Amino acid sequence: MKPIGLLQIRRTYKNLGRFRDIVNVFLKHGLGQIIEGLELHQFAPIRWWYKPLHKRLEREEAVSLPERLRIALEELGPSFIKFGQILSTRPDIIPREYVKAFDSLLDQVPPFPSEQARQIIEAELQSPLRELVAEFQDTPLAAASIAQVHRATLWSGEEVVFKVRRPGIGEIIKQDVDILHRLADLIKRYVPDLAFLNAPALVEEFEHAVLDEMDFLREAENATRFRANFEGNQDLRIPKVFLDLTTEQVLVMEYLEGIRIDDLDRLREAGQDLNKVAQRGSDVLFKMVLMDGFFHADPHPGNLLVLNNGQLGFVDFGVVGRIGEDLLDAMASTFVALLSRDYDALARQSVNLGFVPDNVDIEKYRKEMRADLENTIEPLVGRKLSQIPPAVYVERIMGLALKHHLRLPRELFLVGKCLVMFESLFRRLSPELDFFAVARPYARRLITQRSLIGTFTRKLRREAMDLLDVASSLPRELHLALRKFTKNDLQVKLEIADLASYVRRLDRASNRLTFAIIISAIVVGSAIIIPAARDAAALQWLVVGGFVVGILLALWLIVGIMRSGML
């Protein structure tokens, strides 16, 4: 068992109040089984000490477990909401009902006072606000857990928005990330059945994502890259970023006047052609994913506007997805294999890309995956693509990934989520839209650009560089290994699976046995000195104290055993 470091102990006590808040919220919503599983009994209120934490309350019987967990995450605030949203993009490891529940997590909080926003802007830009803007609207356009947005007019006459980070959110996020790391360690230690989740890696992924989203300089870089990718494009307009007015906590961008893409009534009143809007949106999506390899990964309707001239406008660039060269090559090969219905190639490709766990029998996996792909895709062959929603494809592929425990990159799930959300949105605008017909020319272009010869050349170049690195480092590594061997310093690490859980149980049992012996010693000792205590008042009090302490400790031990369910 790993020893707990002083820093970890200090953080645990520092976050004690927050731990209690989390436990209380979970218990409030009938999630005591999670508290029990993570052995967080010590943070439970006293009123729960005399009953099993996993007992569900009658008023929660009508609400499903995923929904109760979603409500709890919303109540716990921004960090847990963001973590739930990260989990919703991982259907390879999270059951479908939880993904569906976490998809509807609401990031809505009351706005903070505009005076605080003004103070933050002035402190970050080191200038009075009146010197920066001619007008500043105190009523925010939008407010979320990380930031809120105010409209303003620069002295140049340009209409802009100021996105201001919520005061104190950095410390809150940092505290909650520490707690999530601690909870991930507890899951790894006490819930071996959830080892497949790789909870520490999930928290690490969340930490990187939320820190990126809080860094407005990073968001400014994302917006600038989108603007460059769509320069001269008539379908999409990306707001200009004012880099001289942007810091980690303040982001200033051009204000886009438009109508939310899901407000169909206002769009019709404005005379917008909904079919053209859907067509433009589809073109934008496939250009981002299949051409640029850089896409907007938070495509809810509030982030996509229809401008007066019919162009689309993106806002909020905090969450983006990136598709690497290898993945783009794989997508091109996948399209070719699907067109030729070569299921062997698809199964082989999943192995070559490293999606398959190391402990899997590769030959057996390829046979089973080929059969599953054939059973999944063949029933769809011959049907019009326009009659098959992308959600069907995505759901079936994710089901296969879950069945075979494939380690798919998060970007693939973000792409799948974007396809489903965009398609659902655009189909409302234009029910006759053939989503796949729009995708076809982009897929052809991707296949052409990443032809077999081009892909082979790129891979050969990378492999040659890797081989050169190995060759240059091999003498040094061999010298180090030989030196350790001659000094008898070579170590072999042997790890017995699931030994830690048995050690913990043995440790707990021995602690309880020791505790019981101490209680018995106190009671027996008090009984022995009863005859001598008849004429000595001090000894009488000692006897009474010994019996009281012994009884209290015995009750404490019994309650602990009952709560663990090991009675």
Q: Enumerate the active-site residues.
A: 298
Closest CA to 214 of 168, 245, 255, 159: 168
Asked if residue 347 lies in contact with residue 444, where contact means CB atoms within 8 angstroms, the answer is no
Structure tokens at 542: 């000692």
- Please list, in sequence order, all residues whose beta carbon lies within 8 angstroms of the beta carbon of residue 93, skipping any fewer than 6 positions away: 196, 197, 198, 402
- Separate counts of helices (H) and strands (E) for the chain: 22, 11
Q: Which residues pair with 295 in a beta bridge?
A: 321
Asked if residue 423 lies in contact with residue 390, where contact means CB atoms within 8 angstroms, the answer is yes
**In sequence order, what E strands does 211-343 have?**
236-237, 250-254, 258-260, 294-296, 304-307, 312-314, 320-322
Task: Give burial (CB, 10 Å; 0-12/13-18/19+) of 216.
Answer: buried
Structure tokens at 510: 């021995």
For the chain, what is the largest distance between any 2 Cα atoms, rounded to a whole number of angstroms? 103
Identity of the residue numbered 494: L
323 secondary structure, DSSP code: -
Asked if residue 213 lies in contact with residue 319, where contact means CB atoms within 8 angstroms, the answer is yes
Closest CA to 343 of 367, 370, 379: 370
For the chain, the 3-state helix, strand and coil shares in percent, each to the nearest 5, are 65, 10, 30
